[in-house]
């Protein structure tokens, strides 16, 4: 970064239902595109906004972290108010603060938590249709949890990536926790790790749904993992149930 630029860290959340994911695209509305459009309107500067990790079309974020640089000084309170006045209501910036020149929202992230929400019943409540995935068949949460336990640890997750060959830094990730919990009709899959491959969480959820439905045994988790090969045994679950829940930073990389 050039010396005369000030770096800023922002915390934001969004409903991804009406966006074609995070990454800016010329012909589609995206989270990055909306943020950069508003930033230019507020400051007159054309700056790239980098996030902790891109989300796909239809995926939501409870807490996303991003950064950008500005050449001119700004009043943070006014900038925050301006963002939320000009953005549509499905994107909100929660905070903006100055960051170290070398801070990077993606490369300084120490870990992430995703949550995937399943509505397990015959009928989806209409107000949840953008935020839950409907599975009508009864799901065995105990079997799902047994399968999830077999996937925790540092492994090559190529079999759970939609395109492992695109990963520049390889397919090995440390999945620190993968849990499955039921509360009434709602089942929540929580994944925490140092990082995730392309569509990895949706692939984990798709596999666990198959286990819960009795289509695969829990023991298949290790067989599929060790194969390092993506097959039809691991479907990609729909996007609307997925939330980027939280991004963690070490004290050194926090800002």
Has 56 been annotated as catalytic?
A: yes
Task: For residue 20, give both structure tokens.
Answer: 């074609």
CB atoms within 10 A of CB 5: 15
CB atoms within 10 A of CB 18: 13
Rg (CA), the chain: 19
* DSSP per-residue codes, 117-172: EEEESSS--GGGTTT-EEE-S---HHHHHHHHHTT-EEEE-GGG-S-GGG-TT-SE
Among 15, 56, 69, 108, the active-site one is 56
CA–CA separation, 56 and 72 (whole Å): 32
Report which of 154, 135, 8, 145 is spatially closest to residue 71, judged by C-alpha positions: 8
Catalytic residues: 56
């Amino acid at each position: 970064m050039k010396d005369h630029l000030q770096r800023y860290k922002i915390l934001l959340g969004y409903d991804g239902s009406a966006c074609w994911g995070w990454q800016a695209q010329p012909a589609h509305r995206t989270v990055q595109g909306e943020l950069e459009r508003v930033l230019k309107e507020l400051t007159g500067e054309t700056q790239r906004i980098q996030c902790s990790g891109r989300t796909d079309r239809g995926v939501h974020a409870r807490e996303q972290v991003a950064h950008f640089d500005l050449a001119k000084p700004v009043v943070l309170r006014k900038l925050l108010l301006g963002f939320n006045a000009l953005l549509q209501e499905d994107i909100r910036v929660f905070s903006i603060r100055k960051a170290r020149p070398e801070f990077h929202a993606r490369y300084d992230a120490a870990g992430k938590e995703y949550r995937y929400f399943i509505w397990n019943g015959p009928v989806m409540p209409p107000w949840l249709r953008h935020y839950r995935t409907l599975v009508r068949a009864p799901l065995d949460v105990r079997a799902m949890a047994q399968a999830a336990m077999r996937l925790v640890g540092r492994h090559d997750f190529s079999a759970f990536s939609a395109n492992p060959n695109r990963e520049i830094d390889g397919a090995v990730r440390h999945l620190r926790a993968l849990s499955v919990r039921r509360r009434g009709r709602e089942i929540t899959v929580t994944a925490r790790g140092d990082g995730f491959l392309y569509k990895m969480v949706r692939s984990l959820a798709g596999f666990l749904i198959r286990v819960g439905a009795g289509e695969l045994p829990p023991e298949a988790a290790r067989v599929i993992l060790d194969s390092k090969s993506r097959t039809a045994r691991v479907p990609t679950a729909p996007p609307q149930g997925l939330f980027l829940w939280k991004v963690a930073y070490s004290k050194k990389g926090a800002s």
